[in-house]
Amino acid sequence: MIAKRKLLGAALAFLLVGCANSTGPVDEAGNPLEPLTIVTASGEHQFMVEIADDDAERERGLMFRPPLADDRGMLFQFPDVAERGFWMKDTPSSLDILYIDPAGRIVSIARHTTPYSQAIIPSNGGANGVLELRAGRSEEIGAQPGDVVRHSFFSR
């Protein structure tokens, strides 16, 4: 009986430590997620996004990953504003790629990108943020260049 209580106590302590160390929501693979909103003519659209904010994360992106859910995405954060170019190498699912300026305004959108393509998809303007969504999602919510993306990374 005492051994069972000790085991139960240890399990409870492990759970409490795990909860105390939790910093926020995560996806099924344990990747941290942050809220992001896209404001379009049709309203505000909520997403939970992974953040790619270092070279290794930005290089890996969504390579070798299953398709994104409707409410998920990946936000690539860059320390500077520049013309950006992305490709779909080793990415099995078509994506919509939204290039975003420091104020959170969408610069351009590449819709329904070609999986596994090594063709560079340009931003056609300066961007410090790039948001990848499931292919077709930006059209479903009515996103257009000039619309606003709200996230703590962008200054507004």
* pTM score: 0.82
Torsions phi, psi for 155 (to 5 deg) = -90, 120
Task: Give me the half-sphere count of Cα atoms (radius 13 Å) on the Cβ side of residue 69.
Answer: 9
Element (H, E) at 25: none
C-alpha closest to that of 132 among 52, 56, 64? 52
Q: Are strands 72-86 and 43-52 parallel, antiparallel or unpaired?
A: parallel
Query: Exposed, middle or buried: residue 24 (CB in 10 Å: 0-12, 13-18, 19+)?
Result: exposed
The string of pLDDT tens digits covering residues 3-54 is 444 444 444 444 444 444 457 888 777 889 999 999 999 999 999 999 999 8
pLDDT at 1 over 80: no
Structure tokens at 95: 């994506």
